[in-house]
């Protein structure tokens, strides 16, 4: 499958999250149809193992969705604890985006989630 390219200027949202006592920043870039086209994750401890793992998982996620993978399927496939909560930063970020989508009353799948301010979930 060919890569779906993002426009030079695109919608983006940034929010903070915490996983396992570690703080992360997540920025989501979108295609013109508002579907997720890229995701950046950074740990507050730059160049740490946690930062590298988060950045690498976001790169793989971005590459996958740009080549046609379903972000909702990826979200459901990621590691979870016995109560269904995501255990890693990528899963936590995707859950946050899905939660914002459902709080807004918009029942579109994650792939088509509306652009929302992260402060609505705080």
In the chain, where the domains are located = 12-114
Average pLDDT over residues 54-77: 96
CB atoms within 10 A of CB 14: 11
Average pLDDT over residues 98-106: 69
pLDDT tens digits along 69-93: 999 999 999 999 999 999 999 999 9
Provide the mean pLDDT of the chain: 84
Cα 6 from Cα 92, distance rounded (Å):
24
Task: Give phi and psi for 42, each to the nearest 5.
Answer: -135, 140
Nearest CA among 94, 53, 106 for reference residue 85: 94
pLDDT at 104: 57
Confidence class for position 108, pLDDT limits 50, 70, 90: very low
Global confidence as pTM: 0.80
pLDDT at 105: 53
pLDDT at 9: 86
Does residue 54 carry a pLDDT above 60?
A: yes
Percent of the chain with pLDDT over 70: 83
pLDDT at 119: 31
Does residue 63 carry a pLDDT above 50?
A: yes
Look at 112 and 35; give whichever has higher pLDDT: 35
Task: Give phi and psi for 94, each to the nearest 5.
Answer: -65, -35
């Amino acid at each position: 499958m060919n890569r779906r390219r993002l426009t030079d200027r695109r919608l983006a949202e940034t929010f903070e999250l915490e996983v396992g006592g570690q703080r992360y920043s997540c920025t989501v870039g979108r295609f013109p149809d508002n579907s997720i086209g890229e995701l950046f994750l950074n740990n507050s401890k730059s160049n740490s193992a946690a930062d590298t793992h988060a950045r690498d998982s976001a790169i793989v996620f971005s590459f996958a969705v740009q080549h046609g993978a379903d972000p909702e399927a990826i979200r459901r496939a990621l590691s979870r604890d016995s109560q269904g909560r995501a255990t890693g930063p990528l899963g936590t970020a995707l859950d946050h985006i899905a939660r914002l989508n459902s709080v807004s009353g918009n029942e579109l799948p994650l792939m088509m989630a509306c652009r929302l301010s992260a402060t609505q979930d705080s």
